[in-house]
C-alpha cells in the first residue's frame, strides 16, 4: 500500500474505528503466527493502513501486541454466577479463564517477555487489571469462606498465575482435575480463615 492510499483510507476511518481495525488485525496476526513473526508492516497491511499510523499509537511491537491481548480479554470477560460456595465458583472461573487462554495465547506471553521487560511493561500493570476471580473472592469473603486480612495483590493473582503457568509448561489445555488440585491444595489453604486462638493461648 502506498502512502497516498494509506492516507486516503485513514481519512475515511479515524479514531475508534481505525483503532479497532488495527487491533483486530494485530490479534489476528498474533493468534495465527505468534509474536516472533509479529511485525508492524503485516498489521498495517491487514488493517489497510500505514506503519506511521501504528507507530503514533503504539511505539513498540510489545505495546501493540499487549493492547491487542487486553482487547481480547475485555471482549471475553469472565462472569461467574453465584453458585453458593467458593470451590465451585473458583472452578468455574478458572475453567473459563483457561478456555479463554489456550496454550497458543500463553506462548505469546512467553515470547513477549523480553520485549516487555525492556520496555518496563508487564502483565500486572493497570492495563491488565481484570481479575477473573474478583467477584468470586468478594462473595467468598461475604460468606466467611475467605479471610480478607489474608488477601493482597499477589495472593489475588496467585490462582490465575498458577493456571497460566501450568498451561505454559505443559503446552496443553489444563484439565478440570488440575484446576481443582490447585484450588484445593494451594489457593483455599492460602486464603481460608485461620482457626481462632485456643482457650489455653487466651489464658497465657
Domain with residues 77-191, CATH architecture: Orthogonal Bundle (1.10)
Question: Residues 118-153: pLDDT tens digits?
Answer: 765 555 554 455 678 999 999 999 999 999 999 998
User: Where do the domains of the chain lie?
Assistant: 3-71, 77-191
Between 21 and 109, the higher pLDDT residue: 21
Dihedral of the CA atoms 172, 178, 180, 184 (nearest 10)? -140
pLDDT at 77: 85
pLDDT at 204: 43
Would the pLDDT of 162 be above 50?
Answer: yes
Q: What is the rounded average pLDDT of the residues 16-40?
A: 91
CATH number for the domain formed by residue range(s) 3-71 = 1.10.10.60
Q: Which distant-in-sequence residues (6+ apart) come within 8 Å of 1 by Cβ? A: 44, 45, 48, 49, 50
Between 189 and 115, the higher pLDDT residue: 189
- Is the pTM higher than 0.75? The answer reads no
Phi, psi values for residue 97, rounded to 5°: -60, -45
pLDDT band at 200 (very low <50, low <70, confident <90, very high): very low
**Which contiguous run of DSSP H or E holds residue 155?**
helix 153-170
Could you count the other beta carbons within 10 Å of the beta carbon of residue 82? Answer: 11
Q: What is the rounded average pLDDT of the residues 188-203?
A: 71
Percentage of the chain modeled with pLDDT above 70: 79
Q: What is the rounded average pLDDT of the residues 43-68?
A: 92
Would the pLDDT of 104 be above 90?
Answer: no
Which of 179, 172, 168 is CA-nearest to residue 123?
Answer: 168
Which of 49, 77, 84 is CA-nearest to residue 64?
Answer: 49
pLDDT at 125: 52
Residue pair 18/24 in contact (Cβ under 8 Å)? The answer is no
Query: How many residues in total does the chain contain?
Result: 204
Cell 467477584 belongs to residue: 135
Percentage of the chain modeled with pLDDT above 90: 47
Between 55 and 3, the higher pLDDT residue: 55
Chain mean pLDDT for the chain: 83
Residue pair 56/109 in contact (Cβ under 8 Å)? The answer is no
Question: Residues 172-186: pLDDT tens digits?
Answer: 889 999 999 999 999
Rounded distance between C-alpha atoms, residue 104 and residue 94, angstroms: 17
Rounded distance between C-alpha atoms, residue 2 and residue 180, angstroms: 54
Rounded distance between C-alpha atoms, residue 139 and residue 104, angstroms: 32
Residue pair 120/66 in contact (Cβ under 8 Å)? The answer is no
Highest mean pLDDT among 47-61, 80-94, 162-176, 188-202 belongs to 80-94
Amino acid at each position: 500500500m502506498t502512502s497516498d492510499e494509506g492516507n486516503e483510507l485513514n481519512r475515511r476511518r479515524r479514531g475508534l474505528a481505525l483503532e479497532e481495525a488495527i487491533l483486530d488485525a494485530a490479534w489476528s496476526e498474533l493468534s495465527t503466527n505468534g509474536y516472533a513473526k509479529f511485525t508492524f508492516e503485516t498489521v498495517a497491511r491487514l488493517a489497510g493502513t500505514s506503519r506511521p499510523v501504528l507507530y503514533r499509537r503504539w511505539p513498540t511491537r510489545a505495546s501493540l501486541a499487549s493492547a491487542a491481548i487486553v482487547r481480547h480479554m475485555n471482549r471475553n470477560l469472565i462472569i461467574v454466577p453465584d453458585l453458593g460456595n467458593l470451590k465451585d465458583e473458583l472452578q468455574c472461573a478458572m475453567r473459563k479463564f483457561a478456555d479463554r487462554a489456550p496454550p497458543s495465547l500463553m506462548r505469546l506471553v512467553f515470547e513477549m517477555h523480553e520485549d516487555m521487560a525492556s520496555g518496563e511493561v508487564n502483565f500486572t500493570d493497570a492495563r491488565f487489571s481484570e481479575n477473573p476471580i474478583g467477584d468470586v473472592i468478594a462473595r467468598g469473603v461475604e460468606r466467611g469462606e475467605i479471610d480478607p486480612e489474608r488477601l493482597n495483590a499477589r495472593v489475588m493473582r496467585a490462582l490465575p498465575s498458577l493456571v497460566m503457568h501450568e498451561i505454559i509448561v505443559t503446552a496443553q489445555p489444563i484439565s478440570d482435575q488440575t484446576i481443582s488440585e490447585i484450588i484445593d491444595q494451594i489457593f483455599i489453604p492460602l486464603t481460608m480463615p485461620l482457626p481462632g486462638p485456643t482457650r489455653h493461648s487466651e489464658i497465657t
